[in-house]
């Protein structure tokens, strides 16, 4: 599925700023149909209008959506499908940070405080829902080349390396990588690809204080665009594209089994699951 020749119908969650806006702009430049899902209607409508003016051959729509709500996401996807006629690419990108209120580093000597898990709702639960909806609509597509569609989920390099600043954020993003790797064999049978970006420090509003970037090695947004080869190549599935420095890195192999026993169990469990579904008529 190439992003460079044929216009596509694209959904970008969190598409009104940062990484999502960069992705939306890229596909708008390819005269694609781009649906931006975001929480802030003022910003979202303004961004959609600006992109439509900048790229008049593209079709840009904005849909107010709290991605942590299954109902709102399902409504938005349904409307996009009716409007565009198909959904080719989904970027499950919307995310929030833990901020500086690190729940696990905060000690209350009187009584333990329940951690705020909103970051898990947005950065993991919402991504699961986006993936479910993407699969639902992509299986309706005719196969173009060797693909029905492509799903990209935004994780983080905080899912790959220790990130004590935000352990719950790190856990949510690690969950995204686990989701993608484990869903890849499922969607492959439908000729759909799912991969994940793991960005390093890109300048976005997820970091509340821009001054913090002065102390970091910042990855340019151009590296993110280079990472879109995960969409272009339908043979790439279940991979992590680490977005860093000037060139993205696709980890190949994405993981190594510690023993042949571990490999056998992973592969055999999938075989048995498929056999069970076939026997029960759920294949």
Question: Is residue 118 annotated as part of the catalytic site, yes or no?
Answer: no
6-53 pLDDT tens trace: 789 999 999 999 999 999 999 999 999 999 999 999 999 999 999 999
Distance CA 123, CA 236 (A): 23
One of 137, 173, 191, 226 is an active-site residue; which one?
173
Which CATH number applies to 9-252?
3.40.50.720
| 8-state DSSP, 143 | P
Distance CA 213, CA 209 (A): 8
Do residues 35 and 61 touch, judged by C-beta distance below 8 A?
yes
Residue 241, φ and ψ in degrees, nearest 5: -95, 105
What's the rounded mean pLDDT across residues 129-144?
Answer: 96
In this structure, the chain runs to a length of 283
- Concatenated DSSP letters of 29-56: HTT-EEEEEES-HHHHHHHHHHHHHH-T
Distance CA 247, CA 251 (A): 13
Query: Is the C-alpha dihedral spanning 59, 62, 66, 69 positive or negative?
Result: negative
52-107 pLDDT tens trace: 999 999 999 999 999 999 999 999 999 999 999 999 999 999 999 887 677 787 78
Domain segments of the chain as ranges: 9-252, 258-283
Between β-strands 192-199 and 240-243, what pairing exists: parallel, antiparallel or unpaired? parallel
| Mean pLDDT of all residues belonging to the chain | 88
At residue 243, the 3 state secondary structure works out as: strand
Q: Answer yes or no: is pLDDT of 262 > 90.
A: no
Q: Please, which pLDDT band fits residue 176 given cuts at 50, 70 and 90?
A: very high
Per-residue CA distances from 157 to 22, 173, 196 (Å): 19, 8, 11
One of 137, 169, 213, 214 is an active-site residue; which one?
169
Q: Answer yes or no: is pLDDT of 264 > 90.
A: no
- The residues near 201 (Cβ < 8 Å, ≥ 6 apart) are 213, 216, 217, 218, 219
Question: Is residue 33 annotated as part of the catalytic site, yes or no?
Answer: no
Task: Return contacts of 112-116, CB within 8 angstroms, 24+ apart.
Answer: 115/168
Instruction: State the Cα angle at 203 between 99 and 65, rounded to 5°.
Output: 65
């Amino acid at each position: 599925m190439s992003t460079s020749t044929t216009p596509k119908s694209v959904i970008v969650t969190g598409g009104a700023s940062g990484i999502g806006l960069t992705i939306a702009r890229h596909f708008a430049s390819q005269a694609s149909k781009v649906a931006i899902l975001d929480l802030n209607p003022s910003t979202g409508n303004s961004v959609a209008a600006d992109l439509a003016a900048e790229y008049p051959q593209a079709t840009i729509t904005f849909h107010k959506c709290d991605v942590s709500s299954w109902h709102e996401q399902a409504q938005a996807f349904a409307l996009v499908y009716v409007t565009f006629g198909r959904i080719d690419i989904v970027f499950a990108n919307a995310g929030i940070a833990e901020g500086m209120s690190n729940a696990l580093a905060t000690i209350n000597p009187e009584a333990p405080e329940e951690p705020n898990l909103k970051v898990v709702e947005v950065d993991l639960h919402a991504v699961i829902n986006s993936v479910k909806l993407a699969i639902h609509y992509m299986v309706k597509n005719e196969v173009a080349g060797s693909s029905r569609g492509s799903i990209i989920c935004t994780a983080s390099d905080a899912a790959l390396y220790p990130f004590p600043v935000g352990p719950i954020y790190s856990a949510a993003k690690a969950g995204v990588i686990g989701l993608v790797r484990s869903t890849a064999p499922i969607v492959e049978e439908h000729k759909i690809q799912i991969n994940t970006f793991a960005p390093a420090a890109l300048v976005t509003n997820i970091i509340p204080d821009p001054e913090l970037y002065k102390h970091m090695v910042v990855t340019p947004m151009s590296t993110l665009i280079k990472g879109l080869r995960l969409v272009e190549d339908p043979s790439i599935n279940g991979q992590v594209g680490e977005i860093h420095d000037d060139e993205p890195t696709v980890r190949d192999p994405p993981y190594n089994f510690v023993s042949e026993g571990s490999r056998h169990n992973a592969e055999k469990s999938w075989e048995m699951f498929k056999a069970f579904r076939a026997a029960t008529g759920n294949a």
